């Protein structure tokens, strides 16, 4: 009876997800995607986000039959799309007429339409440090970053969490989420706009953290949701 060697997928120790920015753990599966012609690496948790961004998974991109330049391939694909639109127009002429009307509306001179000003989202910054911490935790839990923390926690366990404010910028609050082998520092701009939370820095040694970051004052559950202690 012959035996087969079973191999588990391995990940480069320096590989990271191009969606959430997280360094992939050893043994964690990486999914290859294409953003246009650029190769991208996506972790298991971010495959849905990659599809939303329009990235194509390698192996699913239709091949162009025949040689030729990239311009030839573009003309080939545009020709196929044009043929589909023409077929849809013949099958549903009323829908085609509506599409032409929408196109005419978009081509109207700008002076015939009132200018649209995008509203600016400005938030009031709480006065006390505790209120700023609470607002920062709420903004963090409403962002996409808890998914990143939950993914790491499945391998390394629950982290310690420190929520602290910047002395020179009252509107900035930081959340440091740390394990023995990895840590993330998130910056929350309470006066920011639509996306106030971002990854400010990350590392792998706890000695790299400041003293205030080594004093946990919050907890984190398996979903990555942060709760202030007390």
> According to the model, what pLDDT value does residue 9 have?
46
Task: Out of 17-31, 54-68, 105-119, 171-185, pick the least confident.
Answer: 105-119
Residue closest to 216 by CA, chosen among 159, 165, 136, 166: 159
Side by side, the strands of the sheet bearing 38-43 are: 38-43, 30-35, 56-57
Cβ(178)–Cβ(213) under 8 Å?
Answer: yes
Phi, psi of 207 (to 5 degrees): -65, -15
Cβ(62)–Cβ(56) under 8 Å?
Answer: no
Q: How confident is the model at residue 27 (pLDDT cuts 50, 70, 90)?
A: confident
* CA 220/CA 136 separation, integer angstroms: 14
SS3 56: strand
> According to the model, what pLDDT value does residue 21 have?
86
Would you state the structure tokens that stand for residue 169, as one six-digit string? 């910028």
Summarised one tens digit per residue, pLDDT across range 87-138 is: 666 655 555 566 666 666 666 554 555 545 444 555 677 778 899 999 999 9
- Annotate 177-197 with DSSP letters as a single string: EE-SS-EEEEEEETT--S--E
Would you state the structure tokens that stand for residue 32, as one six-digit string? 């290859």
Phi, psi of 159 (to 5 degrees): -90, 175
* CA 146/CA 36 separation, integer angstroms: 28
Residue closest to 44 by CA, chosen among 81, 9, 7: 9
Q: CB neighbours of 171 closer than 8 A, spacing ≥ 6?
A: 125, 189, 190, 191, 192
SS3 23: strand
Q: Which residue has the higher pLDDT, 198 or 107?
A: 198
For the chain, how big is the Rg over CA atoms in Å?
25
Q: Note the pTM of the prediction, 2 decimals.
A: 0.48
Instruction: Quickly count helices (H) and strands (E) in the chain.
Output: 5, 9
Residue for token digits 């002076």? 111
Q: β-strands 38-43, 218-220: how paired?
A: unpaired
């Amino acid at each position: 009876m012959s035996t087969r060697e079973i191999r588990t997928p391995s990940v480069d120790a320096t590989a990271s997800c191009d969606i959430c920015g997280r360094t992939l753990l050893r043994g964690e599966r990486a999914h290859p995607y294409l953003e246009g012609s650029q190769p991208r690496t996506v972790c298991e948790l971010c495959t849905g986000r990659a599809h939303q961004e329009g990235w194509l998974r390698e192996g699913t991109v239709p091949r162009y039959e025949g040689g030729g330049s990239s311009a030839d391939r573009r003309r080939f694909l545009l020709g196929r799309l044009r043929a589909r639109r023409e077929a849809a127009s013949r099958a549903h002429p009323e829908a085609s007429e509506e599409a032409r009307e929408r196109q005419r509306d978009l081509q109207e001179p700008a002076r015939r339409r009132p200018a649209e000003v995008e509203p600016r989202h400005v938030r009031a910054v709480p006065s006390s440090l505790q209120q700023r911490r609470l607002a920062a935790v709420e903004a963090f839990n409403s962002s996409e970053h808890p998914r990143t923390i939950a993914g790491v926690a499945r391998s390394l366990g629950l982290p310690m969490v420190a929520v602290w404010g910047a002395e020179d910028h009252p509107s900035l609050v930081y959340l440091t989420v740390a394990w023995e082998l990895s840590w993330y520092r998130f910056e929350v701009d309470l006066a920011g706009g639509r996306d106030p939370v971002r990854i400010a820095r990350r590392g792998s040694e706890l000695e790299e953290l400041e003293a205030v970051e080594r004093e946990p004052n919050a907890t984190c559950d398996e979903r990555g949701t942060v709760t202030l202690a007390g």
